[in-house]
Structures are given as C-alpha cells and as structure tokens.
Structure 1
Amino acid sequence: MSAGEKAKAKTEQAQGKAQEALGRATGDDRMEAQGQATKGKGDAREAKEKTKDAFKH
C-alpha cells in the first residue's frame, strides 16, 4: 500500500470517527451520518489498497 494512500485512508477513518462521535454527543443526526460516510470512505480506500497489494506479490 502506498504510504500516501494509507495515510489518507487512516486520516479519513479518524475524521469520520470524530465527526460521528461529535454528532452523537450533540444529537446531530446529520453530522453523525456524515461521519459514518467519511469513515466508510476511508475503509473503502484502505480495502482497495490492500487488494492492490495482494495482487502485487
């Protein structure tokens, strides 16, 4: 997995978790949903990179 893409995936996951927690704490359903979406985007990016690595070796 390229270092840049890995870092981007981890950043998206962390931002999503934080946004989701903030939304849950404040009762803001929209912010919570946006956090889940951002976290999911990071998870998908990480899965894509892992799949690419699996076929390299």
Structure 2
Amino acid sequence: MLPTNMDKYKLKAYSCHACPVRCGAIIQVKEGPFATKGEVHRPEYETLAALGAL
C-alpha cells in the first residue's frame, strides 16, 4: 500500500513527545487485501526509512 493511499484510512494522527514530524497515525482498512482487524498503528517515518521504503 502506498503512503498516499494510507491517508484515506487515517482516523487520527499523533506524534512522539517534542517531535515536529507527527508521522504516527491510527488507521483502519475495512475491506480488501489490506483489511485490518480494527484500528492499527501506521508504520512511522523511522520504520519506513530503516527498511528502505523512502
């Protein structure tokens, strides 16, 4: 799933203490191949950068 597609599933955003990036988010995908079981945390910036997705 592309990051641009994840924004339409975002329920709310949050950030770590004193972090200006605010990359954390709670998402929920109700149907399709990426359906989630309830609300889940979206991968944060550091996770995507460390694994090479950015």
Q: Is the shorter-chain TM-score for this pair beyond 0.5, marking a shared fold?
A: no
**TM-score w.r.t. length of structure 1:** 0.27
**TM-score w.r.t. length of structure 2:** 0.28
Structure with larger RCO (C-alpha < 8 A, sep 6+): 1
- Structure with bigger helix share is 1
Bigger Cα Rg: 1
